[in-house]
A and B are shown apart, each in its own frame.
Chain A
Amino acid sequence: MSNPTASAQGPEKSPEKSPEQPAKKATKKAPPAPQQALFSKIFHWVNLISLLLLLTSGLQIYNANPVFGGRSGWHFPALFTLGGWLAGGRHWHFAAMWFFSMNLLIYGIYIFITRRWKRRYASSSDIQVLQTGKNPKRRNYAWHRVVYTAIMPVLVLAIASGLAMYKPAQFYWLSGLFINWQILRTVHFITVPIVVLFTLMHSLLALKVGQFRLVKSMFT
């Protein structure tokens, strides 16, 4: 577990079976299925669900006065919104924010104490692989780690910009960092397309690195 490249997440342990082989025979010979720490799985689930609620209720709030164009700006279709109207969207948003932020905080403490942030997140060796590496499997693995590492500061930025807008008077120093209200709203909103894009890349890279077995290991 201490060596990231030898961990079950690594490409080295991906099943070597040929596609023609029947699945049942292969499972007996394949290396043990990748395992994820329970804490990581809980974080992943709570993060996924709370982000989905925050994104959809956030678009509902967005529609009350679009960041781009104000009242006459483009609105998101109701299919992507949650809450039905502004007050409902706000209720969902300010309930889900607790699950999202507390989950991230607890997970942050967890990876700090267990030093997982050193082993399971992108390091200089991943950057080196991306610059000079020739092994495509190792390169995919480095991309995977870099991408899921990069989303972490975006999630923190979503909380900081959200807090700055939710309580701009009490956290005036935080709001002040964003220069003006329009920039603050834009930064908070931009986290939505980034998270959507990330979800897509993260899913594809996870499949590339560890096939469905890896994805399954994070969800079950």
Chain B
Amino acid sequence: MQPTPPSRRISGRILTRRRILQLSGLSGAGVLLNACGAPLYSNQVSQVSEPLNQRVEGLLLRPQTPVPEYPVSAITPDALLINSFNGTPQIDPATFQLTLDGAVDRPMQLSMAELQAMPLTSMVIRHVCVEGWAAIVQWGGVRLQDLATLVQPKPEAKYVYFQSADNYYESWDLPSALHPQTLMAYQRDGHQLAPENGAPLRLATPVKLGYKLSKWVTRISFMADLPDQQGYWEDKGYEWFAGL
């Protein structure tokens, strides 16, 4: 194009056409790449992509097919990191009551003794955190499926809402909640669940990301509609289905 000598002569403080093009190219790249702490259009992007992703996730879930498990020797106790948004509530298991209510025929409250008298399901599965790490964990507890059989959800129940002692809250699709490996767990790696892991009762499943697995669960409600508050992290911008 232009021979180089003239444009060299007028460099300095004068903006040449080349310089303007260079600058516009840089700022264009900046708009695309430089997120710098702002969730650049990610909410708009998710409004378009999430309905599709959620639909695909729902289709991929095989609601009554167990996910293959690991041998006990594969358990990685140190890999399970502790995450909590608001500390560790101390709950006395002797007085603890789990409330089951909502769109059910027989709402009830169950003590730990009553829960532990129910059939114990043990599984060794991979626990996957949204942050990217994963751990092989043994969980033991009561199938949510068995609790649902007790309280008899009404036909209109499509969602399950979990409330925790630390005010954490989560909502699930019913098929994932009734998956045979979705447990209300009170054991981890063969021992009684520790308070920082969610004692006395927490959610465990191989089919959802870690932030769906509420600790210190005190109330389980079956619901016909999704509430406005869908979950602690979901309300901050994370995806709702979060299937694995």
Contacts and interface: CB of A to CB of B under 8 A. Distances in A.
B243 interface: yes
Interface string A51-68: 010001000111011010
Q: How large is the interface on B (under 10, 10 to 19, 20 to 34, 35 or more residues)?
A: 35 or more
| Secondary structure call for the B interface | loop
Interface in B125-150: 126, 128-134
B143 to A, nearest CB: 17
A148 B140 CA distance: 51
B231 to A, nearest CB: 12
Interface string B222-244: 00000000000100111100011
B130 A64 contact: yes
A156 to B, nearest CB: 19
Interface string B9-40: 00000000000000000000000111111111
Contact of A82 (B40, B49, B244): B40
B38 A84 contact: yes
A65 B133 contact: yes
Given A80-B33, A95-B46, A168-B128, A90 B38 contact: no
A65 B131 contact: yes
Contact of A56 (B33, B50, B237): B33
Interface residues of A, number: 35
A81 B48 CA distance: 21
A79 B244 contact: no
A94 interface: yes
Nearest to A60: B35
A84 B236 CA distance: 13
Nearest to A82: B35
Given A90-B239, A94-B53, A172 B39 contact: no
A85 to B, nearest CB: 6
9 contacts: A62-B132, A65-B131, A71-B81, A78-B37, A80-B33, A84-B35, A87-B237, A95-B48, A170-B207
Interface of B: 32-40, 42-43, 45-46, 48-50, 52-53, 57, 60-62, 67-68, 81, 126, 128-134, 206-207, 233, 236-239, 243-244
